[in-house]
Amino acid sequence: MHDSATVKVPAGKLVEVDVTYDDRLTDVRVTGDFFLEPPERHASLEAALEGHPTDVSRTTLVEAIEAVDATLIGFDAEHLADATLEAIR
């Protein structure tokens, strides 16, 4: 299955998450008008969201995002986790 969800951060940026999944999240794409430093970590951020079962908790996703050595600018790990969960639920 493939679904997407978009989160508009209040006074911040827009984050769209596209998820391909069956019982697990197999492919995740994160796009939007946000900033990320260093930008080369974008692929790591997407990878951090992949492989989880579809009943993954918000806490687990937030921890996986925060484990990526990158600064999220205009959004935070919670926004990205929420958009990911909204896409698959």
Shortest Cβ 32–another protein spacing (Å): 6
Q: Which of 1, 26, 35, 63 binds another protein (CB under 8 A)?
A: 35
Residues near 50 by beta carbon (within 8 Å), at least 6 away in sequence: 25, 26, 27, 28
Toward another protein, which CB reaches closer, 57 or 71? 71
Place of tokens 């990158």: 70
By the rule CB under 8 A, 32 interacts with another protein: yes
By the rule CB under 8 A, 63 interacts with another protein: no
Please provide residue 55's backbone torsions phi and psi, each rounded to the nearest 5 degrees. -95, 20
To 10 degrees, what angle do helices 58-66 and 77-88 make? 130
Site residues for another protein per CB under 8 A: 6-8, 11-14, 16, 29-39, 42, 71, 73-74
